[in-house]
């Protein structure tokens, strides 16, 4: 009987040891491959703007993913816009690449995207627009990004550059979503950029639709191909970039598209989101403008990035894995 007890004890001890090693094996096994993360690229090509580049490439993406350039506001950064906006989460869901440039140029108001210099106002003239084009081309080379599906978006200074890129490279950007931006060629020069001195953002800028449209056409003289579709966002209580500049941008882009200044439809997609849409003769919406009632200089807020991605046509393409359990906070 004593032998049986000893055998039983030994067997239990062996089983316990086996279980312990099994558990230890689970705990000590190498972790699974890390999920997609923001990656900095230091040698992406010609960089006259001396910019930094970060890119987010979701693990689950098609062979030739679309490319979205997402740009921060003044004094911000690419990583800051990555963590403070919803575009990376949407990239996980719909399988597109997101480029997050970081501006380094100064115009008396922190690091801002150059939309004021002569170089930045003409195609391939230099400065930030050329640097950003290098980033787009890098995304195509390194990640097989689809150059037929390139889009731009951004907040404040990034919203200004969004509109500038669509004027400079209408053959590259299929659509853009500008949050709290200004019309193309609104700033005379660097001295005109700081809000305290600016003729552009001091509330007195008023040009005709033809004048605004000419500013876009002059960025790429001779171009006669299709123009990007344009989505514009502005808060009615913005105390930094006056709300009236939304209307100036509407006039600019409807003129470029050859559309009437009268919207073809108006609606309220969400509470306090008043939307005007301007469609062409085929019914395709070429320009849409969102007036966000009571909002200050704080866009995009929750849900607006998704509206931009919908406008780009990216929310119906690509893989759709389950959404993550957490999401970045809305930008402020």
> In the predicted model, what is the mean pLDDT of residues 299-326?
74
Domain membership of residue 84 (yes or no) is yes
Higher pLDDT, 34 or 107: 107
Domain membership of residue 7 (yes or no) is no
CATH of the domain at 94: 3.40.50.1820
Query: pLDDT per residue over 158-210, tens digit each?
Result: 999 999 999 999 999 999 999 999 999 999 999 999 888 899 998 778 999 99
Domain membership of residue 238 (yes or no) is yes
Domain limits for position 164? 38-312
Query: pLDDT per residue over 36-53, tens digit each?
Result: 899 999 999 999 999 999
* Confidence check: pLDDT of 252 > 60: yes
Give the three-class secondary structure for 304. Answer: helix
Number of domains forming the structure of the chain = 1
Query: pLDDT per residue over 261-290, tens digit each?
Result: 999 999 999 999 999 999 999 999 999 999
Six token digits for residue 7: 């055998």
Whose tokens are 């906006």? That residue is 85
Catalytic residues: 156
Spatial distance between the Cα atoms of 20 and 22, rounded to a whole number of angstroms: 5
Spatial distance between the Cα atoms of 176 and 307, rounded to a whole number of angstroms: 12
Domain membership of residue 211 (yes or no) is yes
Domain membership of residue 190 (yes or no) is yes
Helix axes 244-257, 209-219, angle to 10 degrees: 70
**Helix (H) and strand (E) counts in the chain:** 8, 10
* Confidence check: pLDDT of 78 > 80: yes
Three-state secondary structure string covering 183-238: CCCCCCCHHHCCCCCCCCCCCCCCCCHHHHHHHHHHHCCCCCCCCCEEEEEEECCC
Of 260, 129, 119, 249, residue with least CA distance to 177: 249
Domain membership of residue 317 (yes or no) is no
Q: What is the DSSP letter of 91?
A: H
Six token digits for residue 178: 């500008």
Spatial distance between the Cα atoms of 228 and 132, rounded to a whole number of angstroms: 17
Reported as type and span, the H/E element at residue 104 is none
Domain membership of residue 63 (yes or no) is yes
């Amino acid at each position: 009987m004593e032998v049986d007890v000893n055998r039983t004890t030994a067997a239990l001890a062996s089983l316990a040891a086996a279980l312990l090693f099994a558990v230890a094996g689970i705990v000590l096994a190498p972790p699974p491959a890390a999920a997609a993360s923001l990656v900095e690229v230091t040698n992406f090509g010609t960089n006259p703007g001396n910019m930094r580049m970060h890119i987010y490439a979701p693990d689950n993406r098609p062979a030739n993913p679309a490319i979205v350039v997402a740009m921060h506001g003044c004094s911000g950064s690419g990583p800051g816009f990555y963590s403070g906006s919803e575009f990376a989460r949407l990239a996980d869901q719909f399988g597109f690449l997101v480029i997050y440039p970081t501006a380094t140029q100064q115009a008396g108001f922190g690091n801002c995207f150059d939309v004021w210099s002569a170089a930045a106002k003409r195609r391939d003239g230099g400065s930030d627009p050329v640097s950003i084009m290098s980033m787009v081309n890098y995304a195509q080379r390194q990640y097989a990004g689809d150059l037929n599906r390139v889009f731009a978006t951004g907040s404040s200074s990034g919203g200004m550059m969004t509109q500038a890129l669509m004027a400079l490279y209408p053959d590259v950007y299929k659509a853009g979503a500008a949050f709290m931006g200004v019309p193309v060629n609104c700033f005379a020069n660097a001295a005109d950029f700081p809000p305290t001195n600016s003729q552009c953002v001091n509330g007195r800028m008023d040009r005709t639709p033809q004048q605004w449209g000419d500013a876009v056409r002059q960025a790429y003289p001779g171009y006669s191909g299709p123009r990007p579709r344009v989505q514009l966002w502005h808060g009615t209580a913005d105390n930094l970039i006056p709300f009236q500049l939304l209307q100036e941008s509407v006039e600019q882009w409807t003129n470029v598209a050859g559309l009437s200044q009268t919207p073809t439809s108006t609606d309220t997609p969400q509470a306090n989101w008043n939307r005007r849409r301007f469609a062409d003769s085929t019914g395709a919406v070429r320009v849409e403008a969102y007036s966000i009632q009571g909002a200050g200089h704080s866009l995009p807020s929750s849900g607006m990035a998704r509206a931009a991605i919908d406008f780009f046509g990216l929310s119906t393409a690509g893989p759709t894995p389950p959404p993550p359990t957490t999401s970045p906070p809305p930008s402020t």
